[in-house]
Structures are given as C-alpha cells and as structure tokens.
Structure 1
Amino acid sequence: MKKAGKVVKNEAVSAWGAHLDTLVENKLTLTHDEAELHLYETFQQAQLIQLRFNAPVMTSMLSGRKVMHLREMAPFNYQPGESLLLPSDRLMQIDFPDATFEDPTRCLALTISDEFIQEVVSELNEQVPRVETSDQWQLDTDNYLLQNDPEISSLIDKLIRLFRENNPFKPFFVKNTLRELIVRLSQTQVRTGLLQQTSQHLTKNRLAYVVAYIRENLTRALSVEELCDKACLSKSHFFRLFKSELGVSPVQFVLTERIRLAKAILSNPAKSITDACYESGFNSLTHFSNAFRSIEHISPRQFKRQLFGLN
C-alpha cells in the first residue's frame, strides 16, 4: 500500500485504541484462521492511495467518504452503509477528499480465504438448493458494490466486536459469523439480480417470472394460489423458495411492491393520496395508510409533504 501521511506522535490514539503511525490509512489488523480484519482511519486529505489484498476482500465504509478508482469502473463516491466485494489482487486507488483529524474517514477491509468461501457456498448449495437446478449459490467478488441491509450491517458490527474480544470462544464465534456473512451476501446478490435484472431471468427462473407477474398485476387482488400456479410449485415449496431467494414472503413482497408504486404515484404533484391508494392496488385508505407507515415509517401525507417541501 502506498502511504502518503506523515508520522504522528505516539500518544495519539485511534478510535480502536491503537497508536497512530500515519495520518493516511492508519491500520489495525486482527487475524483469524480463515480471515483478517483490517481497520483503517485517514485523518487528512489524500489522493490515489494504492491498496490491494492477496485474498478476496469485503470493504465497508464506516464514516466519511472516499472516491474509489477501480479497473473498468468510473470513479465513484463510497460512503457509509455501502460495501464492496473485490477479488484477490485487485488494485484499488483511493481519494480521501474530506478527511480531517477532527473528522476522519474510517473503513474496514475483511479478507476471507477463497477456500473457506467455496466451502460455505458448496454446503449452502447442498443443503438449500435454489429453485432452478441450473442456478447455484455463489459469491461474486468482481467489483460488486452493494448497499448493506440491516442483517449485513449487524454482522459487520458483530465481527468488529468479535475480532477485538479476548475470549476463548472467539475463533468459534468468528467462524460462524463469517459463515453467516457469506450466506447473507450470496442471498443479497441473488435477490438483487432477480429484482433489478428481472427481464434477464424471465425465461430461466420461475421466481423472476412471478416477480414480473406481480408487478404487472399489482392493482388487482393476487392470491398465493395464483402465484404458486404461475411458479408451477406447491404452496409449501413456493413459500420456502420465495423467501430463500427473495428474503421475504410472497405476501410481504406484494405489499412492498404496492408501496413502491404508491410512492411513484405520490411523486406526481397532480395525484392525491386517494389516487395513490387505489391506483397501487389497495381497497381501503386505512389499510393503505397503515401499510405505508409500516414500511416507510411515515404516513403517505408526511411522505408527500417532505417530497414537495410542504408545511
């Protein structure tokens, strides 16, 4: 790694209790049989700092902002709540446009042995096969940028705590948490593919076909039996596979899609809350309001006011 920061006084201490050796990418490394956790802090602006790892790596932003320069990708802002999966030996060049001593940029890099990743993925495919036999669970580490969901965020926080613990059970706890993280990341990638590139999977994945069917028929009642029929699966099998690959039940997915449609309708100044209710498939304003609040944590009226800056 290319270092650009000056050495600082030994009495200066990082957020993780280690002495600061440099103001740019000051690092604390913690080890496990299957992984290494690197915690980084940068306290001054810097440009094109080079970094690479000799194992597949998941990086996650904790505070501040970076600008990432990666092969075959335009430079992009990298911010808290986001993670990036990269293969072994992939060069990163990093800008720190906002870092200061009072407000440092913090991130982590978690390297995991490729053998361990393949072991977990193979076990996942054996025990929880995907809906289509031609599809396999896998972990794509080729410049894969993702928004952390609550489960992944929780696992990241847990790993930081576990790696720093002095506990005789630490190796056991870390290994199990790494296993869960690999599974969650694989689920996230499958779910993202089915939901964001649905049309690419229509002819080869029954769940993608059901997702498209739900989106095309949101404004009318959709029974579980109808969706099972479209997937050519029994009810129990359909429920299990839908939740396995999409992370939610079919009923919850339909509700979430209707709220997504309602938000788009509410974004039109000419549309009312009543319009959004009935045009997104709800048959009761009370039900619509309660469902909207359960997902968005605000009422439809508050959403519309915030959207247009109304009092």
Structure 2
Amino acid sequence: MELPKSFYATRKLVDVVENKTTYELKDSAVHIFETHEKAELVQLKFGSPVLASMLEGKKIMHLKDMQSFDFLPGESLILPADELMSIDFPDSTKKSPTRCLALEIGEDRIQRVAQLMNEQMGKVEGDEWDLLDYNFHFTNDPGLHKIIQRIVYLYAEKHPSKDFFVSNMLQELIIRILQANTRKAYANNSKELSSHNRFAYIIEYIKQNLVQSLTVKELSDKAYMSESNFYKKFKQEMGQSPVDFINQERIAKASELLSNDEMNLTDVFLSCGFKNRSYFNRMFKRIKGTSPSQYQQRFKD
C-alpha cells in the first residue's frame, strides 16, 4: 500500500525505531510507524481498540496468549485496548524501512455499528453481531485494502469535511472487519458448528469438495434456501460472495501446496479445483499479491 504524498511532505523523522506520525480526529486516530534499523522486543500498546495493518517490510509479533508470528504487508491485526505488544524488526534498514499503520477506534463507535448491523443485517441463524474478536490476524481482502488506503489518505488530507468523510469510511471498515471475523470463525470451526449452523455446514462442504465444480445453486440447495436469498445472506454475513469465498479457500490450499518447492504448478492448480492455469494465476495474484511461481520461489531460497 502506498502512503499519500502529503504524509511524506509533513512527517518528521525523529526516531530510527518506531518513528510515529499521528493524525487525530474526534474518536479515532491514525498512527504511521516507521523503523529504519533492526530491533528486537520493542514494546507498544494503545488506549483504544486498534486495527494494525502492515504497509512495508516485516515484523515478528509477540502477543499475549498467541504464538509469535510474522506480520507482513497486506495483513492486518485487531488488538484490544491496553494490549502490550513486543515486536521484532529483523530486516529493517534505511533503504528498506518497515512501515505499519495503527488505526485507533473508540469502542463506543464499534458498539454503535454492531447495533446497527443487528437492526438491519441480521445473521441467517439469528445470532447477533458482537464486538470484535481481538487478536484477530487476517489477510486484507480487496475491499478492506481499498478502505484502509482511503482512510489514510483522508486523515493526511487537510479538508474541512474530513471528520464527516472519515466517519462514513470507519463505519464501512468496522462492518467489513466484523464480516471478516465471522468468515474466519466459520472457516476455522466449520466442522464443530456445522450441525447447527447452515453456513458453517456449507463452508465445511466447500472445504471438503474444493476439487469439485461448486455452484451457487448446489450450495443454496444444501442450505435449503433459494439461490437469490442464499447469495444475498452469504455475502451479507461473510462480506464476500460464495464464489469469492470458494476461490479464497482454493488459493489457501494452493499456498500450502506451494510451500513444497518440488510441487508441480499444474498439479497444484488441478488439486485445488481450478480448471485452467491462467485463471488460477489471476486469482492467486489477486489474493496473494504475487504469482504462484514467485510465491513458491520463496521456499527455494
């Protein structure tokens, strides 16, 4: 993600580790952190819930009750207020700095959006939208990526209507994050939930049949819903269409297979349910930001 020119024109580099540029509004703030040298166990916490999103470089995150993990560009992390993080910067240099944004959002705003969703976007089984599942680490989908980029631009812009613009974007951002949270919860627990939740059942069916041709009609029949209502409710609850979800699961499986540097690319895309190489390449690059061959090359170095 590219930072706006207005950021580079106004920011001041004072610290080589976690240099912070802050833009504040009424109940939210954006911080851009830059690190220009290697560092270990740098501690950081915020007073409000935070969406952290990697822009450039690599961090190794150490969080409470979680195994350490790499935090890479195109990924985000939801953290609760007052969560203490310890962060390593293994690759940061002056020429290749690590950059990350942290968006603080007041919990009252999150509650208001969740309440609005419950009033207007009820879940298929009647469950309620709730506050964020904190310490939620995920890959940004294209919609989230565009919103985050737009929000950073708006914060850095000097515009008299900035508060109004940002408020609308934050509502969409929270909705998309809650949908992504629900999507991941179903994907991670589909087997356990499938006996009493029809979307969990459908997701488990998709995961078990990725190599097969899957249609919205087939899935809607299994959910005992009309095709149009199934499509609408699935997208409303998951934040993406059934076809996009299927492709995401297929690419996730392909990524696992490509970690074996001896795996043939043709065998990979056929094993994941893709019928031709060009469509597979296109979907892989859209979701992972790189080609399958470039991704596999990482495991050969």
C-alpha separation in 2, matches of 1:190 and 1:31: 29
CA contact (8 A) 1:29 1:38 kept: yes
**Alignment counterpart, residue 295 of structure 1, candidates 283, 287, 290:** 283
C-alpha separation in 2, matches of 1:157 and 1:55: 21
The one-letter code matched in structure 1 to 2:280 is F
Which entry has the higher C-alpha Rg, 1 or 2? 1
**Alignment counterpart, residue 227 of structure 1, candidates 219, 223, 232:** 219
Does the C-alpha gap of structure 1 residues 141 and 88 become closer, same or farther in structure 2, counting only changes over 3 Å? farther
Q: Percent identity?
A: 40
CA contact (8 A) 2:12 2:21 kept: no
Does the C-alpha gap of structure 1 residues 293 and 41 become closer, same or farther in structure 2, counting only changes over 3 Å? closer
Q: Is structure 2 residue 53 aligned with structure 1 residue 65? A: no
Q: Give secondary structure in 2 for the equivalent of 1:90.
A: coil
- 1:199-242 CA-to-partner distances (Å, cap 9, x unmatched) read 12202210111222344455666564543332122333212112
Does the C-alpha gap of structure 1 residues 24 and 305 become closer, same or farther in structure 2, counting only changes over 3 Å? closer
- 1:241-266 CA-to-partner distances (Å, cap 9, x unmatched) read 12223344445555666777789899
- 1:117-155 CA-to-partner distances (Å, cap 9, x unmatched) read 11011101211111111x222342421111112211211
Q: Cα offset for 1:29?
A: 1.1
**Alignment counterpart, residue 192 of structure 1, candidates 143, 159, 184:** 184
Residue 4 (structure 2) aligns with = none
Residue 240 (structure 1) aligns with = 232
Which consecutive residues of structure 2, in runs of 5 or more, have no partner in the other structure?
1-6
What count of residue pairs does the alignment treat as equivalent? 287
C-alpha separation in 1, matches of 2:55 and 2:84: 21
Q: Over the residues paired in the alignment, what is the CA RMSD in angstroms?
A: 3.4
Q: Cα offset for 1:97?
A: 2.4
Q: Give secondary structure in 1 for the equivalent of 2:10.
A: coil
C-alpha separation in 2, matches of 1:178 and 1:92: 24
Q: Give secondary structure in 2 for the equivalent of 1:196.
A: helix
C-alpha separation in 2, matches of 1:295 and 1:289: 10
CA contact (8 A) 1:58 1:83 kept: yes
Residue 197 (structure 2) aligns with = 205
Does the C-alpha gap of structure 1 residues 235 and 30 become closer, same or farther in structure 2, counting only changes over 3 Å? same
The one-letter code matched in structure 2 to 1:209 is Y
- 1:92-115 CA-to-partner distances (Å, cap 9, x unmatched) read 122222222232221111110000
Residue 17 (structure 2) aligns with = 24
Q: Is structure 2 residue 161 aligned with structure 1 residue 169? A: yes
Does the C-alpha gap of structure 1 residues 94 and 237 become closer, same or farther in structure 2, counting only changes over 3 Å? same
Q: How do 1:3-152 and structure 2 match up within 5 A? A: 15=8, 17-133=10-126, 135-152=127-144
CA contact (8 A) 1:265 1:276 kept: no
Q: Which has the higher contact order (CA 8 A, sep 6+)?
A: 2
CA contact (8 A) 1:51 1:92 kept: yes
C-alpha separation in 2, matches of 1:289 and 1:206: 32
